[in-house]
Amino acid sequence: GTFFVFFGLTEPARHCAGHTTREAVHLTSFSSPVARKRTASANKHAYKPLHAAARRRRSASAQAMAALDLNDRPFTCPTCKTPGFPSLEALGDHAAECIPKEPVDPRWKQGARVKVVGLKAAKQHNGKLGTLGEPSDGRWAVALDGSGRKLAVKRGNLQLVDEVQREPKTLERHHQLLAEFDGSRDPDTLALYYHARDKAFDAYNASEYTSQLLRYYQHNLRVVCVSPRRIRGNDYALVQLRHDDDERNSLCELAFQCQRSFCGVSILVKQRCFTCGRPGAPACVCACAFFCSERCSAEASSSHTDLCQRIRAFPCSVEEEVLTIF
C-alpha cells in the first residue's frame, strides 16, 4: 500500500527486472488522474485526486518509462540521454530534475498588478488591489494600494488585474464633482455614491444612507474599511463595503475619485451630525455615522441602532491617517 516514486516507478516495479519493457510499462503506467496514497484514515486504500501539475509529472514519467529498457544496465536517462546509472534508484534521483516543469506565465513578475481573493484568515484584505514583489517559499509579496501594507500571499489567492477588469485604464479623476459635493450644505447631499447601473453619481440624506447600508447588509455586503478624507479643509469618511463573493466586487469609481483603489462599493460621508447637520461632529462607535451630542444620537437611535450593531458584528479597519484630496 505504501507509495514510492523512482522516476515514475512504484515499489513493485523495482522488482520487475525480469519482465519485458512492455510489462514494466504496464505495471508503472499512470494514466489515471487518481493515485493511491497513504492517509491518516482507517481506509489504507483511500484515494486522493492529484493536482494538474502532479498529473503532468506522472504523465511525463510514464512516457519516459516507455523508452527505458529495464534489462539494459547501466541505465541511460531517456529524457536528457545521460548514461551510466547503475540502478533505478540512482536514475530516479537524477530524472526528477529532467521531468518537464509547469510552464511559467511571464505575466507573473515583480511589479504586476494583482487583486487579493479567497483569503480565509484575513478576509478583510479580499478584494484589495496591490503590486507584486518577489516570490518566496511558495508565496508572493504583495504591497497593498493605499496603506502600503505588505502581505505574503499564495498565488491561488491572487488574480492579475488584467484578468479582473480592464476599466481602470479608462478612469479619470473629476475634482469638479467632489468640489460641488463639498460646497453643498443641503441635508440631502450628506453622502455621495456612484450608481453603477446608471453610471452616474448621486447623493443620500441621512435616512437614505442608513436604509441603503441596511440593504447592503441584507445582500451580503458589509463594511470592511473606513478611510478619512479631506476636501478643502472639510472632513469626510470613505465607507467601503465588500461582497462575500469576491467575483462580485469590481473596481469602485467613487473610491478612485477619492484616491483609493478598492474593489467593492464606497460611500463618501460628510463629517456632519446626522440629526442636526452640525459640521465636525464626532464619529459613532461604528465609525460610519456622526452625532454631535448624546441628544442627537438618541434621536437617531431608532434608525441607526440596527445598522450600528451590524457594522460592529464584523471586523472593520478604521484608518487614522487623513488623506487630503485637494
Domain-located, residue 103 = no
Domain-located, residue 253 = yes
Looking at the fold, whether 152 and 176 belong to one and the same domain comes out as no
Domain-located, residue 104 = no
Among residues 322, 325, 324, which one has the least CA distance to residue 228? Answer: 322
What CA–CA distance (Å, rounded) separates 246 from 243?
6
Looking at the fold, whether 132 and 173 belong to one and the same domain comes out as no
Domain-located, residue 56 = yes
Looking at the fold, whether 192 and 209 belong to one and the same domain comes out as yes
Residues 184-214 have pLDDT tens digits of: 999 999 999 998 877 889 999 999 999 999 9
Looking at the fold, whether 299 and 276 belong to one and the same domain comes out as yes
Domain range for 141 is 113-164
Q: What does the CA dihedral 38, 44, 46, 52 come to, rounded to 10 degrees?
A: 20
Residues 6+ apart with CB under 8 A from 32: none
How many angstroms separate the Cα of 61 from the Cα of each of 5, 30, 54, 77, 211? 10, 8, 10, 11, 61
What 3-state class would DSSP assign to 136?
strand
Predicted TM-score of the model (pTM): 0.52
In 10 A of CB 246, how many CB atoms? Answer: 20
Looking at the fold, whether 320 and 173 belong to one and the same domain comes out as yes
Output 189 or 107, whichever has higher pLDDT. 189
Average pLDDT, the chain: 78
Domain-located, residue 208 = yes
Looking at the fold, whether 124 and 138 belong to one and the same domain comes out as yes
Which residue has 517559499 as its cell numbers?
137
Looking at the fold, whether 189 and 263 belong to one and the same domain comes out as yes
Looking at the fold, whether 37 and 76 belong to one and the same domain comes out as yes
Domain-located, residue 105 = no
In 10 A of CB 114, how many CB atoms? Answer: 23
Looking at the fold, whether 226 and 190 belong to one and the same domain comes out as yes
Instruction: Please compute the mean of the pLDDT values over residues 265-270 and round it to a whole number.
Output: 98
Domain-located, residue 2 = no
What CA–CA distance (Å, rounded) separates 194 from 94?
60
Predicted confidence at residue 296, as pLDDT, reads 97
Give the chain's domain count.
Answer: 3
Looking at the fold, whether 148 and 84 belong to one and the same domain comes out as no
Which of 95, 123, 147 is a domain's end point? Answer: 95
What CA–CA distance (Å, rounded) separates 251 from 127?
9
